[in-house]
Amino acid sequence: MDYLTSRYRLVVMNDDNFEEQASFKLSRINLYLLISVVLVALNIIIVTLIVVTPLKEYIPGYADVNMRRDITLLKLKVDSMHTELVQKDLFVENIRNIIQGNIDTSRVDTKTETINLEDLDIEEISYEDSMLRAEMESEDNYRLMFSGTATGAKQSIEDYHFFPPIKGFVTSDFNKAKAHYGIDVVAPENESIKATMDGVIIQSSWTLDSGYVIGIQHESNLVSFYKHNSVLLKKVGSFVQAGDVIAIIGSSGELTTGPHLHFELWHNGIPVNPGQYVAFN
C-alpha cells in the first residue's frame, strides 16, 4: 500500500530564474483515479455523439432503420418480379412447344405407368363409360359463359353495360397520344374496387410501374385493368361478376403520386376511352 499511497510533489518552475510557479502533491493512486475518470468521461462523450448524431451511419455494419425497411421491400419486389418472370417464361416455352409440335400427345403419362393411346381397344370400353363420354360431350355447361350469353354473341362495345369500378373524381383523362391508356380516379382511402363486367381474372400480380394490378378477361375480346391497388382480393382463374369486389384502392408502384385507381379498358387489343362507357361520379 505504501507504493500506492506514497506522496510526490510536482513542481512547475520558471526556466529562466528557477522561480516556483506552482506545485501539486500527487500519489500513484490519485494519478490512476484521475486517468480513469478522464478515460470514462471521454468514452461517455464519444458514445453520446454516436448515439444522438448522424455519426453512427459512418460506422461499418450499421444501417439506418428506414434503409433496412427499404431494402426488405425491394427484396420482396425483386422476388415477386423473379417469380412472375419465371412463370411467363414457362408459359411462353409451353406455347412455343405446342406451336412447333414438340409435345407428344399420343402418350399420356400417369403416376403409375405410361399409356399408349394407340394401343387402346375401343371395343373393350364398357357401356357405362361410353354413356358417360356421350353425356360429357353433349354437356354445354362446361363452355365459358358470361352473363348467360355465349362468348362472341355480341361484337360492339356499345352493346354492353359497364358497372363503375369505383365512385370518385376523375383527375386524369384518357390520352392515347401521351400513352395514358386509362382514367385516374381518386376516391376515399380503403375504398373497394369492383369488377366492371362478368369475366375471368387473367392477371393478379405486382409490377414495378403499376404496383398491384388485376386484369379481367370479358366476352367479345374486352379486357379491363385495375392498377395501383393496395390489396388484391382475387386470384388468376377466378370467375367474377359485375360489381364483385376485386381489390382495394391504393398507391402502389412507381408511377403514382397518391391513392387512386388507374382503370383501363381494351377491346380487340386496342385501348379505348373508359370515360365514354363508364360513369365514375
Look at residue 76 and tell me if it is in a domain: no
Look at residue 238 and tell me if it is in a domain: yes
Look at residue 86 and tell me if it is in a domain: no
**Surface-to-core class of residue 180, CB atoms within 10 Å of its CB (0-12 exposed, 13-18 middle, 19+ buried):** middle
CB atoms within 10 A of CB 247: 26
Question: 258 phi and psi, to 5 degrees?
Answer: 170, 170
What is the mean pLDDT, run by run of 10 residues, along the chain of 281 residues? 73 82 80 90 88 70 65 83 84 79 54 51 59 57 44 66 92 91 92 94 91 93 94 93 94 89 93 91 81
Instruction: Give the CATH number for residue 229.
Output: 2.70.70.10
pLDDT in tens, 105-132: 454 444 444 545 555 555 555 666 666 6
User: What domain count does the chain have?
Assistant: 2
Residue span of the structural domain in which 271 resides? 157-276
pLDDT in tens, 87-98: 888 888 887 777
Q: Which of 57, 86, 103 is the last residue of a domain?
A: 57
Q: Which of 266, 241, 258, 260 is nearest to 167 (CA)?
A: 260
- Contacting residues for 135 by C-beta, under 8 A, at least 6 apart: none
Tell if the pTM clears 0.75, that is, is over it.
no
Q: Which of 202, 259, 197 is nearest to 227 (CA)?
A: 259
Cβ contact 214:229 at 8 Å: yes
- Cα gap 215→227, rounded to integer Å: 9
Q: Which of 40, 57, 74 is the last residue of a domain?
A: 57
Q: Which of 57, 76, 104 is the last residue of a domain?
A: 57
Look at residue 136 and tell me if it is in a domain: no
Look at residue 197 and tell me if it is in a domain: yes
* 3-state SS class at 148: coil
